[in-house]
Amino acid sequence: MLPVAGTWPPLTGLLLCVFTGAACAAPDWNVDTLTGDWGGVRNRLSAQGVTLEIVLKADLLSNLSGGLKRGSRYLDNWDFKLKADAHKLWGWPNTTAYLHVISNHGGRFHDERVGCFMGVDNIEVHTNTTKVFHGWLERSFRDEQFSILAGLYPVDSEFYVTDASGVFLHSSGGMAAEVAQTGVNGPSIFPTSSFGMRAKWQPTPSFYAQAALVDGVPGHPDKPRGTHIRFARGDGSFAMVEIGWRPAEIDMEPLEPERGVPQDAAIRSHEKYEGISKYALGYWRYTPRFDDLTDIDAFGSPVRRVNRGAYLLAEQTVYRELDDSSQGLALFLRYGVASGDVNTLDYSYSIGLRYKGLLPGRDEDELGIGLTRGHAGEKYRRAAATPLTNGETALEITYRARLTPWLAIQPSVQRIADPGFSPALRDAWIAGVRFEIAF
C-alpha cells in the first residue's frame, strides 16, 4: 500500500497520484515540472481525466576499488506515464487505465565492474531498450474497498514494498533479491512485466489483502528488446499473495468544552496515516517445477522441485518532528526465504533507516542507511566449481536532496562485501550520484 500522496514531496506525490489513481488535486505543472503546462495542454488533459508525466533518472556510478575492476559508467531510465479516468473519458464508472513506458540506456555496471550477484543500481538493465512496463485497467467496487486489475502488471509495484527503503539506489530497495533471482526470465518485476491479474481487498484503511496471478515467464527470453506478450507452453504462472496491516496513529484532539461537561470528556480521537507504518506477510510460488541444483533421479536427470518462498516486512515511523509530522525517522526490516533446492539464494534480509527533514531548512530531503544480506544456499555452493563464501552483503548510505519541486540530486556510497560470493574478489567501494528530473 502506498502512503497518502500529500505527505510526500511534490515530485513523488505526482507519481503516486498517477499510479494509484487516488483523488489528487490537479498538479501545478509550471511549478512541479521543468517543462511546465505545455501552453495549457496538461491542464486541459487533466480536466478530461488524463494525466501525462515524464521523469528521468540519470545515474553516474564509479567503482573506486575492489570488485572486478575500477571504472565508471553512466545509465539512465526514462518513465513515460499516462493515467486516464475511464469514467470521464468513456463513461466506465470506477475504472482507471494506466500506461507506463520505460526506456533504459547505459552500461552493465555490476556485471562488468563489480561482479556482484544482487546488483548495485535499481535502474540497471541487461539490455538497452524501450518497452511497456505497465499497461492495465483497474475497476473498483463497493466504495473502493475491492478492486480488480488486468493487463501488463509488475508485482513489485505493490507487493513486498516498503516505502522507507524506496530512497536507496541499491537494487534490493525494490524487490528483494531472493525473489528477483527466480524464474526463467525473472518474475514479473522491473524491467520486464507479465500479463496477469491482481485483486485487492481493503475493508478498512488499516487492513488489506491482495493476490496476483501472472504469466510465469515475462516477455520473451530470446528477444529482450521491446514489448512481448506471449503464453508459451510450459510458462506456467507466478502467484503472489500478501496480507498487511497499517496501524494508524490515534490523534487526540481537544474540543471546545461544553458547560457542565468535564474537560477530559471533551476529547475526540481520529486516525491519521501521515507517517510510515506497515506490517505484512507474503507468499509466492511458480506453478512449473524447476531443476534441482544437485539432486538427480534414477535416470540421471535433475529432480524437479517446487519453486516458492515467503516473506515478512515491517516499517514504522519511530520519531516525528514536532512542527511537521511527515518529517522524522522511520525504520524498516524485510526478510524472505526462497527454495534453496533450485535458487542461488535461500534467504535475504534488509534492515535500515530513513530520516526525512534531518537538516534545518531541508524539510523534503531524505537520508537513508541500509544493509542487505543475501545468503548463498548450501546446494548452490556445493555445485560450484570453486569454493564460495556464504553470501554477499551490501551497505549503502545515501542522501536525496530535493533542490526544486522538479529536480532532486542524490549522492550515494556503497560497500559490497564478498561480491558474487567470490573469495578471490576484494570488497568493492562504489560512489554514485542520481539526478531525478520531472519534465
User: Is 305 in a helix, a strand, or coil?
Assistant: strand
| Omega cis (within 30) before 411 | no
Q: Which of 291, 282, 270 is nearest to 311 (CA)?
A: 282
Q: How confident is the model at residue 326 (pLDDT cuts 50, 70, 90)?
A: confident
pLDDT in tens, 393-430: 999 999 999 999 999 999 999 999 999 999 999 999 99
- Specify the length of the chain in residues: 439
The C-alpha cell of 339 is what? Answer: 527454495
The pLDDT of residue 11: 40
Question: Is pLDDT at 142 greater than 60 in this prediction?
Answer: yes
Q: Which of 329, 414, 313 is nearest to 366 (CA)?
A: 329
Q: Which of 209, 215, 68 is nearest to 146 (CA)?
A: 209
pLDDT in tens, 99-117: 999 999 987 899 999 999 9
> pTM, whole model, 2 decimals?
0.88
Residue type, 72: S
Contact (CB, 8 A) for 431 and 64 = yes
User: Is 126 in a helix, a strand, or coil?
Assistant: coil
Rounded distance, CA 322 to CA 420, Å?
45
Average pLDDT over residues 341-356: 98
Q: What architecture (CATH level 2) is domain 5-438? A: Beta Barrel (2.40)
Report the half-sphere exposure of 218 (CA within 13 A, side-chain side): 31
Strand 207-215, strand 237-245: pairing: antiparallel
The pLDDT of residue 248: 78
